[in-house]
Chain A
Amino acid sequence: MSEAHWIVKQKIDIPFQYTPGPALLRFLEGLRGAQLLASGVPGEARKTIPPLSFCGRAWKPADEWTELPGTGVLESFAVVPRAMAELPEAGARVVFGLVKLDGAETRLVHLVRAAQDADLRVGARVKVLWNPARSAAIRDIAGFEVIT
């Protein structure tokens, strides 16, 4: 802190309670049972995951449910040398990726694993990895593994 221009350190710390709503609740319960559930407007091809309860494009309820097979395409990825402190992987090298699951129009962001870095490429096929212990949370998915 310079004596001429003071800098005052402060923090803002506020707890919140987030309501997932019915569609996300069903999605989270699906994760507990190792299911990937997408939703869409009945009769329309567009399926979203995480699911929306209402399609803003069709302006109609999106209440038709589909279980996705758990395979997809890696559309982008980032290699993080040291994961930030707030993550369970704190300090470790992790890869985040955007995965377009087969049967869905939207993408999920999650951890990506590959046997070797050379396997990490846009367009690579991936499949879901489940955690053995699941609690209806996004971390029930351990990540997506590149299939070689």
Chain B
Amino acid sequence: MPRKVAIVATGQTKHVAKRTDVNLRELITEAVTRALDDAGLRMQDIDAVMLGNMEPFEGFLLPELWSVEGWGGLGKPAMKFNTGGTVGASTAIAAYYFAASGMYDTILAVGFEKQSEGHTQTAITTVGDPLWERTMMAGAIGNFAVMASTYVHESGVTEEHAAKIAVKSRRNACNNEYAHLQMPNLTVEEVLASPYLAYPVRRLDFCPQSDGACALVLAEESKAKKLARQPAWIKAVATAHDQQYMGDSPKRLADMRSQRAASQRVYKACGISDPVKDLDVAEIYEVATYAELAMYENLGFCQPGQAGKLIDQGVTTMDGALPVNPSGGVLATNCIGATAMIRVAEAALQIMGRAGKRQIPNARLALATGYGGNAWTDALILARE
């Protein structure tokens, strides 16, 4: 039997487009220090460290070596993960495994990325198979645009639906002191007036590139109860994968097989039959507005073709039945190696009742997801009990 494990503390940097005042190592230290302070721990109290980052973005190979004094790894057991967009959640899940297995009691998980140092779309293009896809690929923007066109065709969602998601995220982000894009006055009209990056995806339909880091402290049951008044218990975790090439899954965004598989697995483990009713809040990895709409369907928030209705009815806004991304989500902040961990951290803050102005009252059950590579999904359920 796995041991009970909870997230007891979080730390984030203020995410921005460029942190020219610090290098990568110093950026990491900020988030780690905040998480340790939040837990009331010293670095000596940490048994092991899990790190997540996507190397081509800064151009460092093995940045964990170069940055070791920044994350407290000297002489400690540590592992580094690199799983694309999911990496932050994969790193949190790895930390969970180590604590649940009984291997370590108190674990630090860290995700980080300094996007301003490289060329994100260029680096992501190297994800494509050099023989088949790299020649045509245009980073994440091109991939999501192609997938969005399929999804629009299948689901009937409109540009206005997408624009409403963009507005929801950037307005929610105003309640999050760490969020990058905070746009309190953004309107649907402004989103629809922003230029196409790649049809049908407009500039305001897509996430920004951010510099930022996020850290979590995870602990087994007895330590967790001491370290946090209300720990965020990890009830279930899952990772799922799809086939390798972009054209392998016939409908891609409209039919995200890895999202369906991972979410169904964690729902089943927690006895969740109706996510909108059973979950109190969700922090999902939506790189583009159309991706969030598609995820509503694929995470079981609505029936196929009903995602537009969900946002029209305000089901996923702050006062809806299932608020999605009170933090502003990826559409407000994307520092890739940290991004999926920020989903987990924000879900944990909601469960701990410490999400400040973005707190969903009485949040007891939360979903966090990561999405990346070509089609890889991580899912976690956090709970008060």
Contact = CB atoms under 8 A, between A and B. Distances in A.
Direct contact of A and B (CB under 8 A): yes
Interface of A: 8, 10, 12, 14-24, 52-57, 59
Interface residues of B, number: 31
Contacts of A20: 23
Given A8-B131, A14-B118, A14-B119, A57 B69 contact: yes
A20 B131 CA distance: 36
A21 B26 contact: yes
Contact of A12 (B21, B42, B126): B126
Given A14-B122, A59-B42, A19 B117 contact: yes
Interface in B101-127: 114, 116-119, 122-123, 126
A21 B114 contact: no
Most buried by B among A23, A56, A57: A56
A57 B74 contact: yes
A23 B22 CA distance: 9
A16 B58 contact: yes
Interface in B1-47: 19-26, 29, 42-43
Contacts of B22: 19, 21-22, 53
Nearest to B18: A19
A52 B69 contact: yes
B247 interface: no
A8 B23 CA distance: 37
A94 B19 CA distance: 37
Nearest to A48: B69
Contacts of A24: 23
Contacts of B126: 12, 14
B32 to A, nearest CB: 9
Given A8-B130, A15-B119, A54 B26 contact: yes
Contact of A17 (B21, B25, B116, B131): B116
A19 B18 CA distance: 10
Contact of A19 (B23, B72, B73, B131): B23
A53 B74 CA distance: 16
Interface in B177-201: none
Interface in B251-305: none
B56 interface: yes
Most buried by B among A16, A19, A21: A19
A71 B69 CA distance: 26
Given A8-B131, A54-B26, A54-B29, A18 B69 contact: no
Contacts of A52: 25, 69
A10 to B, nearest CB: 5
B21 A21 contact: yes
13 contacts: A10-B130, A14-B59, A16-B119, A17-B116, A17-B118, A18-B23, A18-B58, A20-B23, A21-B25, A54-B69, A54-B70, A55-B69, A56-B71
Nearest to A24: B23
Contacts of A15: 118-119
A16 B70 CA distance: 21
A21 B211 CA distance: 14
A25 B58 CA distance: 18
B68 interface: yes
B129 to A, nearest CB: 11
